[in-house]
Amino acid sequence: MDDLTLERLVREELEWAPHVDAENITVHVENGIATLGGFVTSYAEKKAAEHAVWHVRGVLGLAQEIEVRLSETARHSDEELAHRAASLLRWDALIPEGRIQIKVERGVVTLRGAVDWQYQKEQVEARVRHLAGVVAIDDRIIIRPGSSVPDIAEAVRRALARHAEIDASRISVAADGARVTLSGAVRSLAARRIAENAAWAAAGVAEVEDQMRVVP
């Protein structure tokens, strides 16, 4: 697929996405790499635009350069934003209580702490992402698994094989202690994300290194 056709498909997907106002988003595609620019009015919308592009067949990579420009009604003090974020996390049953520290400076939320699973780390960011007033998230949360399995690599291979959306035979898995490395090829950015999530779901995984290529 040529770049002009792919650029048109990316624009169409952004216009189709219900959580994205694509009017002020620019798209440029070169050698299969899509670059998103322009601006949106919330960090949640910026991430929604990114996720929409993952599902476009033919996109080999994504450069995210969208700026968040808050409206006047969405602006809140850093103190208020920090209190709201802390309250949200405190009431979320999926997030271990007392594990996450929050700092806010000029709308940029820095998250620190340690959790047992990647899904908990993702849940923290997902909850904070939708707060009005957030312009960016600096996620420094680390994974400290509470358990391990004798053969992490084999557990990840079995997890990949269970997913209909990916061809597990094209992905190689290597493990060095709690660190898992994925290499090989997937057919889309969305499939790449699914493979990463499958690896993170294995007990004992503390780090996933993604060396996969997108080959439609």
Identify whether residues 64 and 9 lie together within a single domain: yes
Domain extent at residue 174: 152-214
pLDDT of residue 147 exceeding 80? no
CB 37, CB 66: distance < 8 Å: yes
The residue among 114, 143, 172 that closes a domain is: 143
Domain count, the chain: 3
pTM of the model: 0.81
pLDDT of residue 186 exceeding 80? yes
Identify whether residues 15 and 43 lie together within a single domain: yes
Long-range CB pairs of 81-89 (<8 Å, 24+ gap) are 81/107, 81/109, 81/131, 81/133, 81/134, 82/109, 84/131, 85/109, 85/127, 85/128, 85/131, 88/127, 88/128, 88/131, 89/124, 89/127, 89/128
User: What's the CATH number where 195 sits?
Assistant: 3.30.300.130
The residue among 68, 84, 102 that closes a domain is: 68
Identify whether residues 10 and 61 lie together within a single domain: yes
Q: What is the pLDDT of residues 81-119, one digit of tens each?
A: 999 999 999 999 999 889 999 999 999 999 999 999 999
User: What's the CATH number where 43 sits?
Assistant: 3.30.1340.30
Euclidean distance between CA atoms 213 and 103, whole angstroms:
35
The residue among 17, 43, 68 that closes a domain is: 68
Identify whether residues 159 and 124 lie together within a single domain: no
pLDDT of residue 178 exceeding 90? no
**Structure confidence at residue 77 (pLDDT):** 93
Identify whether residues 129 and 79 lie together within a single domain: yes
Q: What is the pLDDT of residues 125-135, one digit of tens each?
A: 999 999 999 99
